[in-house]
Amino acid sequence: MKKDDLITLKIEDLSSEGLGIGRHDGITFFVKDTVIGDVVEAKVMKMKKTYGHARLMRLIEESPDRVEPPCPVTRQCGGCQIQAMRYQAQLAFKENKVRNNLRRIGGIENPPMEPIIGMDAFNVEDAVAGEEAPAGMEAFLGAKALADGVTPLRYRNKAQFPIGRSRDGRLIAGFYAGRTHTIIECRDCLLGSKVNAWILDAVLKHMERYGIEPYDETTGSGLVRHVMTRVGFRTGQIMVCLVVNGRSLPHSEELCETLAAIPGMTSITLNSNLEKTNVIMGKDLKVLWGTEYIEDLIGDVCFRISPLSFYQVNPLQTQKLYEKVLEYAGLTGQETVWDLYCGIGTISLFLAQKARKVYGVELVPEAIRDARQNAELNGITNAEFYVGRAEDVLPQKYAEEGIRADVIVVDPPRKGCEESVLETMVQMQPQRIVYVSCDSATLARDLKYLSKRGCEVQKVCPVDMFGNSVHCECVVLMSRVKDFLID
């Protein structure tokens, strides 16, 4: 087998990155843009000793789970790795992925899985295309009921568009193709709000009118790097943040006047990022028009969201996720809860409605500032927030003030918990641990650590927060079955 050979493959599974998996002459091949059940002709692109990568050349036989992707740039962009898969098949794939990781990595032979929570209201009625902005947020946030085979669209409340020039010199906005910094032109991502297209049209027309150059990563020259947008699905409030390689934007008053005419516009800010880096946002923020934040609700809790705040991107599913966290926490009103990696306090304040006391811990000072403001905004007085590492804050509060933990909730980044955090959780001896994870592989690793120290997995519930992608959120309940063992 060598490069450029044509082979026929039956796609039997998907990798964690969404690549189709097929076998030919005992060799495993990974093929992008394929669906389980496809029979394809593929060209060998790269060979290793035991596996290879191949490019889809022709569909010989379509899988019964294959659908026509609604996005015209789905293959070039690569952000929606499984958009060509029927939605119910997407859910089955994600549920199976979580189960397999818990078995293979976590050593849990029969994971106590609940059915995955899929999206049941998402497909937005597109506003009528044209130069005018829609009459109101309902024009592009109204939802249809889920039907088998329908692809989840318009569920994201946040988008970040790099700005650049096409090969023929046109100003463009879009998304980076997978593992590259080549911009795939797209002003209206079908996962985001329809209003993004109007915002990007206004920004690019402004740049053309005043000769404002996009940022060039190679030379470090140019001004406009990204346009970030957020939409409050419950409030209808809209945020625009312009990320620039400088301290100001020429004729920003005129741009603000145009953007402010869009119904729901609430916040227009300028973010300065002068570093030669892949990190999108800088630290310096200036309000150009309106406020620094927008507001949105999860359940009955209102949150102020700034451009630098972490906030779940799928608000409809976020409420379902947090309701599952609340169910697993089993609060009666008498418990003390610690929320680790609490961010701006979204889970903390949701739990505070049912707990005696909630303590949130987060390393980022700005996030803790937002969490305290959100508590005050909602009149919640039984939540306190601390800046620092969980492995430092928890032992100190336990030793010096005797603050115990009936329930610990942890929602770490994709890499999972540091072992020192897990050890601290063990030392706190909670009755229950609720683990929220966006990566079932690192989740399984951490559950294995806790399981060896006196805790038992009681329930596992996957939640689809990212339809059309391979990513899956997960909530796990662990209960103490004996005193935790400390090495």
User: Which of 438, 461, 472, 474 is the catalytic position?
Assistant: 438
* 216 three-state secondary structure: coil
The span from the CA of 63 to the CA of 325, in Å, is: 36
The pLDDT-based confidence of 296 (bands split at 50, 70, 90) is very high
Sheet holding 383-387, edge to edge: 383-387, 357-362, 336-340, 407-410, 432-437, 473-480, 455-463
* pLDDT for 330 beyond 80: yes
In a domain, 128, yes or no: no
* pLDDT for 124 beyond 50: no
Please name the residue ranges forming H helices in 105-251. 138-141, 195-210
pTM here is 0.90
Same domain for 278 and 330: no
Same domain for 10 and 100: no
Q: pLDDT per residue over 56-65, tens digit each?
A: 999 999 999 9
* pLDDT for 137 beyond 80: no
Same domain for 398 and 284: no
**Count H helices, E strands: the chain?**
11, 22
Same domain for 323 and 454: yes
Same domain for 300 and 318: no
Query: What is the radius of gyration, based on Cα positions, of the chain?
Result: 24
Phi, psi of 85 (to 5 degrees): -105, 135
Domain boundary among 273, 305, 337: 305
Which of 180 and 359 is assigned the larger pLDDT?
359
CB atoms within 10 A of CB 6: 11
Q: pLDDT per residue over 368-405, tens digit each?
A: 999 999 999 999 999 999 999 988 898 888 777 888 89
* pLDDT for 293 beyond 90: yes
User: 300, 295, 224: which is closest to 266 by C-alpha?
Assistant: 295
Mean pLDDT of 410-427: 92
Task: Tell me what the pLDDT averaged over the chain comes to.
Answer: 90
In a domain, 130, yes or no: no
Same domain for 203 and 185: yes
Q: Domain holding 61: CATH number?
A: 2.40.50.140
Same domain for 319 and 229: no
Q: Does residue 461 have an active-site annotation?
A: no
DSSP state string for 127-165: PPPSSSPPSSTHHHH---B--TTPPP-S--SEEEEEEEE
CA distances from 156 to 227, 293, 484 (A): 15, 18, 40
The span from the CA of 308 to the CA of 310, in Å, is: 7
Mean pLDDT of 344-362: 96
Q: pLDDT per residue over 273-283, tens digit each?
A: 999 998 999 99
Same domain for 414 and 448: yes
